[in-house]
Structure 1
Amino acid sequence: MSSPLPVLNKENLVNGLSFILPGLKETGDGVLLPRALPLSGGRSVERLSNQEIDEILTKLNSAESRDASSFQWAREAEFSLISLETRGAFERFFEDKRFTGQGENPITYRIGNPSKEFTAYLLCCIAQQPGIRKTPNWSMIRRRAAALTEDGHRSRFVDLLTGDSVLDFVAEIIHVTTLQVSAVKDVADFDLLVNSFLFHAAYNLDAAARIGVDRKFEVRSIQRGRRSQSTALDAPRQSYNVDLVHHYLMGVAAEIPLLEYLSYYHVVEHYFQKVFNDDLVEQVRKGITDPSFSARRARDIQGIIKTVDKATRQAKEEGGFNEQRALHLVLERFVSVTRLVADLDSYDGSLVGYYASNDVPFAGAGKVTLRLSNEEDARGALARRIYKVRNALVHAKEGDLPKYAPFAHDSELAREIPLMRFVAEQVIIAHGKAL
């Protein structure tokens, strides 16, 4: 889930830096490191000056446009990239990290470590988002930084470090990839240029990346109190449907929100046919056992036939059954709204209120008030919201219907994922069998 942008000031920059390089000391002209950092060619740096800090922060705060993954000015911009490669980092596919176009306004692209400005922004993120510092990646980064600052320590990494600033050292340590774009004249749409470059790279090299927040700077995993301590984990007391477990594991492991959401949806979808057929059987059973029903009256028999015929016609028209109705039935049978609210509150106390106050614009999905005393009404609204989000994800035809735009709507979709995951968990648990 996306977080608010950090305040870009010296205090946050220094606090973030001290997390990676502890033992900093503020002096009259800057920040002094406990020991000098090695640079290539036998050089070293031991201070981040106030002048450099001021220049960097002034430039960052003068950006004409910024979000969690980019800073843009009139003639330059920098975007954080997420590699979609299973074979390694995106930047390793490029022998030359810099590319310059032609024409009246030649565009230059550079792939690699973040600039000093973007590194300073990331340090501010570290300072103001404590959750990102708790991941195993950051323990490894701190150990690597400590090792490289030891007296007499040399490595190929140091020989390749061509910068001259503390922030250049940090940029290499945190290993984030950015795409810097610059032009001779003002540019109206840097997003268009970057996405065009990414398509060009994918077309020619089969190398895929997207604009986005590097995973080291995002708290995405759903960790609740009962799961935060590995020492508190005990042996399972139930066995679970293997197919459902596989869908659930795919969702937990997914790095792309669309895949994560649909993986959890597939868990719920697994029972659509069964609950729909069971519901039809129950409707017929109630009809023929009702005291007002008589097998001798043609009108009563015709009523039962109409019920079955309606379901059959609906199945033919909709490819099997009414999926939204089936979703509602699954929620009705296997999901406790009270437990769902408790899970959401445990994860993020603002989410239940968010669902009650906000639509899902890219899906045309309405609000859901989960704290209703009538759980059936809550389930109805929940089924509509989940189903419309699912439709927006799988249907991409041009037209008037709302639809999901990959990456552009990821922050909105991320807010829907806890809701879908906790519903899927209840469905899996409801079908567990005691060991």
Structure 2
Amino acid sequence: MSASSAINETSIMEGLRRVFRSDGTASDDFTLRDPISLPDGKVILGASSAEIAAITTRLASAQSRTESSFQWESEAEFSLVSLDQVGAFDRFFEGETFEGQGDNPVTFRVGRPSREFAAYLLCKFAQNPVLLTSPRARMILNRIRQIGSDRISTGRRSIEGDSLFDVIAEGLRATTLQITAVKSRADFETLANSFLFHAAYNTDAAARIGLEAMFRPQAFQRVRRSQNGSLDAPRQTYDADLVHHYLMGVAAEIPLLEYLAYYHIAEHFFVKVFNEDLISQVRSGITDPSFSARRSKDIQSIVNIVTKVKGRIKDEGGVNELRSLQLVLDSFISIPRLISDLDAYDADLVGHYANRDVPFAGASKVDIRAHDEEAVRGAIAKRIYKVRNALVHAKEGELPKYAPFAHDEELAREIPLMRFAAEQIVIAQGKVL
């Protein structure tokens, strides 16, 4: 875990201050301005320095930790993200415990975060103020502040425990999977994924290991080119199929689906540009001054062009996709506009493409600012095509390949390149109203 994600007493205290809009007291304890009264009569005044220190020590003792998990010798806790919009996974499993069997039985429990994990999520707020600007985050924080008042109901069972971190865990609406074993283990992530498969197989309710979007600042960045009130009426009409793919990409919550939706916009023209390229080659041959319909070798040269292309189509089961993709980019993409869009979205992206390859796809660097635009389009086509192949091909033993969720952060960096290219393709097909 990076230094920027450090978990200590200072970051937990800062998180408490941000959530509850309080400076606390002059002591090392955190005291709420307004005590929280729970339905069962308990009153929470704040959090003691001893409790905060104990939580910090517990988290620091984890033998393994990632952005979404903490693993100790015989137990682990994983943050889960439901993969449906109606919360079917939470409805099926929240608060449920599943007891294993055997010599080293394992227990699985789905529910609200532990106090320690709630404190960790609190640190995410403390270290990333941009999180607090998210509409959903503001709603969650207001909900935490109001728990215990007559204006709000938790919507769950009564809060268990008497700690301020229990209140935070309840209000966050986050879900975790807690796994405990009788003896030490080193395969808790494998156990977690096995449970998620078992759950999805039997109930059709799916979730994955990961942090919800509200705890990930990069997920907030959207391509907003107009402020509210400044949007004009459209001046062009666009192809419905392309629009539908584009809308799917904008709405997609999973990076893989978003990338492929934009790729399909380019793919829409593969056959067209490939055939046009073949026609262009044949036309160029027969209109060349050196060509003569009376010479058999000249006729044969044209036949060879067609035969070669047909042979590739047969071998590859269709048009040459990489060649077609480059032809689409050559036909519709303006490199200066692409650079402008990328810079407006993230000033570091063009440099990222120039200096970093894509490990999970074996895709090479591309200097989009290079002077030879034709060569740039060719390099972009290769990078896009290799990323696309990594997403759709997952044969055992083939490396490199994309691992769902594990490579989402890397893939997210590739999406703007594909999206802005796709936008130019859609706009190039527009017809003036």
With the shorter chain as reference, the TM-score category is over 0.9
Work out whether residues 26 and 32 of structure 1, in 8 Å CA contact, stay in contact via their aligned partners in 2.
yes
1:60 equivalent in structure 2: 59
Work out whether residues 5 and 68 of structure 1, in 8 Å CA contact, stay in contact via their aligned partners in 2.
no
CA distance in 2, matches of 1:356, 1:9: 37
Work out whether residues 40 and 158 of structure 1, in 8 Å CA contact, stay in contact via their aligned partners in 2.
no
Q: Unpaired runs of 5+ in structure 2?
A: none
1:86 Cα deviation (Å)? 4.3
Q: Does 1:44 align with 2:50?
A: no
1:372 equivalent in structure 2: 370
Work out whether residues 20 and 141 of structure 1, in 8 Å CA contact, stay in contact via their aligned partners in 2.
no
1:139 Cα deviation (Å)? 2.5
1:87 Cα deviation (Å)? 3.9
2:131 equivalent in structure 1: 132
2:325 equivalent in structure 1: 327
Q: Unpaired runs of 5+ in structure 1?
A: none
CA distance in 1, matches of 2:136, 2:2: 19
**Per-residue deviation, residues 151-185 of structure 1 (Å, max 9, x unmatched):** x5564658611121111111111101010111222
Given residue 8 of structure 2, which amino acid in structure 1 is its aligned partner? N
2:100 equivalent in structure 1: 101
Q: Does 1:239 align with 2:219?
A: no
2:402 equivalent in structure 1: 404
1:388 Cα deviation (Å)? 1.1
1:15 Cα deviation (Å)? 3.0
SS at match of 1:104: coil
1:259 Cα deviation (Å)? 1.0
Alignment of 1:272-421 (within 5 A): 272-421=270-419
CA distance in 2, matches of 1:264, 1:213: 25
1:422 equivalent in structure 2: 420
1:180 equivalent in structure 2: 178
Cα distance 1:193–1:5, how it changes in 2: closer, same or farther (>3 A)? farther
Root-mean-square deviation (Å): 2.2
Alignment of 1:66-85 (within 5 A): 66-85=65-84
- Relative to structure 2, which stretch is displaced further, 23-32 or 189-198? 23-32
Cα distance 1:19–1:430, how it changes in 2: closer, same or farther (>3 A)? farther
- TM-score, normalised by the number of residues in structure 2: 0.93
SS at match of 2:40: helix
Given residue 252 of structure 1, which amino acid in structure 2 is its aligned partner? V
Cα distance 1:156–1:143, how it changes in 2: closer, same or farther (>3 A)? closer
1:311 Cα deviation (Å)? 1.4
- Relative to structure 2, which stretch is displaced further, 61-70 or 81-90? 81-90
1:135 Cα deviation (Å)? 2.2
Q: How many residues align?
A: 432
- TM-score, normalised by the number of residues in structure 1: 0.93
SS at match of 2:233: coil
2:246 equivalent in structure 1: 248
1:19 equivalent in structure 2: 18
Cα distance 1:187–1:301, how it changes in 2: closer, same or farther (>3 A)? same
**Per-residue deviation, residues 219-252 of structure 1 (Å, max 9, x unmatched):** 325424624x222322222221111111111111
1:89 Cα deviation (Å)? 4.2
1:259 equivalent in structure 2: 257
1:107 Cα deviation (Å)? 1.3
RCO (CA 8 Å, sep 6+): is it higher in 1 or 2?
1
Given residue 233 of structure 2, which amino acid in structure 1 is its aligned partner? A
SS at match of 2:65: strand
1:209 equivalent in structure 2: 207
2:122 equivalent in structure 1: 123
CA distance in 2, matches of 1:25, 1:87: 38
SS at match of 1:41: coil
SS at match of 2:108: strand
CA distance in 2, matches of 1:238, 1:130: 40
**Per-residue deviation, residues 70-102 of structure 1 (Å, max 9, x unmatched):** 111112211111111344241210375222212
1:126 Cα deviation (Å)? 1.4
CA distance in 1, matches of 2:409, 2:145: 35
Work out whether residues 40 and 159 of structure 1, in 8 Å CA contact, stay in contact via their aligned partners in 2.
no
SS at match of 2:98: strand
CA distance in 1, matches of 2:125, 2:95: 31
CA distance in 2, matches of 1:179, 1:19: 27
